[in-house]
Structure 1
């Protein structure tokens, strides 16, 4: 029978002279992955102050990130090869702001995102002025607050800004379409006869042509707006402020129209250049990324 070995007993000469088997990096990684699985199994009871954990082969440990080190030690209790790393803030879920998205105000009203822009370090979405004139705090899809109205120009022109004060929102250079996202690359204006497309939160994405530019429109009750561009596209209530695009070029935000998408109609949009120059804004633009559809 073979010799039984236990701590405190003398080893046979042959065993004493043998070198212990080295632990391979693959074995270490497997052990750490096992520890990771144990911590994953505790996800249902993890406190908010523990912000994450991951395998770090370089230190032969599983790193637990936390804003409260004591809470991290309790979470990982009973496990070896755990390293606590203090972080200053918890991660948060982020959502993207895109042209054509639904926005609603706390005082009642629904419109659409036009474009994202910045002035210095302040973030804004551009929409219709008759929308921001309603006031209140505006929220995006899902009801997450975006921020308050910052500026309104209506009547005379029809544009306004909502300040993006919530850290939950990421600005993009995207506009919703029926074939994924359009990339906003610039703001070169379209001419009469050129194709333009609307992205609105009610009627969705569809296209038409520019019919006239520099038109003054009387919406009634003293609401006269000048400098608008007329198109043969239709729109519906809630599309106001939505993005007007021509290819990859931002054209403006939907102001109003007549008729509807069931029987056909026409629309007017506020050219984007007037908004940018009036408020000193920089339009957020960029190249299309590989994950854009």
Structure 2
């Protein structure tokens, strides 16, 4: 129901019944039943994002300057329109974009007072001041659609508002809400080979979820969240040895790499569901590509999975710029500014799990944002920047099974 409402789909009992009776690939694509028309519409929105969103963003910046761009997103509630927000000259921008996009009838240009550059500077100033003043701003969302910054904190709300006004000005576009950002750190092992979406355990007692198998300069790796452990810790896939982690980064990203023991089988699959017993079965999604970090947009649907999931959980990307600053179990500061917040929940043990969509690797599950007055959400670090920082060249897309 949360998925349907978030994407602007009919949430009536009749619509749910029609979706349940449909014979299509909706559950494989989005983790929920959809009617044929709904599935076609969501796939069409995907196509509009792929075709036009990068072009629209680049055209505004190149033709009008970075100070003009306030955001680019898919407006799912508004019927699937690609929305470009600018700080001025909307008619000129609309005329320019209509000539270069593939789907001009799906394009809308709106005006917002603050550019993304200006909002990012406010986040930077708040983070620096919070560190100096000892403030707990564990999560900050740069919301392109509202053109505001939303701060989640466990500190006193009114006192935090006063401090923000003193720090960045009383008129700054910043909202404060109660909320806690916490690392979340699967399924039982059904059998080797190594793959994403599986429960993995460390020798020092921590449980996380494997993200993807990957290739690097010195062989193959399993990727998971950096806050799951420091380097030099041994990991296994519930009895199947993986190896000893050799790198764990929690600054600028949140990713850990585990070199796979030579001779171990691994595959480019991600486990979506698994049951035991006489009727045991497993369902996988094969990873065939990896998303570039510049190719995702607010309003695009991403999915996550982890040890607490029986399948995919999907939702729209709320922001591409979620700022995280929180301590892990080892006392290290997990900090980055470009987290992807998705409208889906995750829980302890899901850390490191894959973010994906339709066979495309998109990220590594990092933290849960718990809000007493709103839906809990999940944040993942993008796979592109994570691989670059951790020294991995590419997610494994060849298969079905490779021997290292």
Which is helix-richer, 1 or 2? 2
Corresponding position of 1:284: 396
1:148 aligns with 2:244: yes
1:219 aligns with 2:322: no
Residues 117/270 of structure 1: CA separation in 2 closer, same or farther (3 Å cut): same
Q: Note if contact 2:227-2:255 (Cα within 8 Å) is conserved in structure 1.
A: yes
SS in 2 for 1:114: coil
Q: Deviation of residue 230 (structure 1)?
A: 0.6
Corresponding position of 2:268: 173
Q: Deviation of residue 166 (structure 1)?
A: 5.2
Which is strand-richer, 1 or 2? 1
- CA distance in 2: counterparts of 1:251 and 1:201, whole angstroms: 18
Q: Note if contact 1:104-1:140 (Cα within 8 Å) is conserved in structure 2.
A: yes
- CA distance in 1: counterparts of 2:265 and 2:302, whole angstroms: 26
Which residue of 192, 199, 221 maps to 1:95?
192
Q: CA RMSD in A?
A: 2.4
- CA distance in 1: counterparts of 2:381 and 2:301, whole angstroms: 16
- CA distance in 2: counterparts of 1:121 and 1:218, whole angstroms: 32
Corresponding position of 1:191: 297
Q: Note if contact 1:147-1:164 (Cα within 8 Å) is conserved in structure 2.
A: yes
SS in 2 for 1:216: strand
Corresponding position of 1:159: 255
Q: Deviation of residue 224 (structure 1)?
A: 2.3
Q: Deviation of residue 246 (structure 1)?
A: 1.7
- Give CA deviations for 1:31-65 in whole Å, capped at 9, x if unaligned: xxxxxxxxxxxxxxxxxxxxxxxxxxxxxxxxxxx
1:208 aligns with 2:303: no
TM-score (normalised: structure 1): 0.60
Q: Note if contact 1:234-1:266 (Cα within 8 Å) is conserved in structure 2.
A: yes
Corresponding position of 1:42: none
TM-score (normalised: structure 2): 0.44
1:267 aligns with 2:382: no
Q: Following TM superposition, where does structure 1 have runs of at least 4 consecutive aligned residues deviating by more than 3 angstroms?
A: 220-223, 286-289
Q: Note if contact 1:210-1:231 (Cα within 8 Å) is conserved in structure 2.
A: yes
Give the number of equivalent residue pairs: 192
Task: List runs of 5+ in structure 2 lacking aligned partners.
Answer: 1-190, 274-281
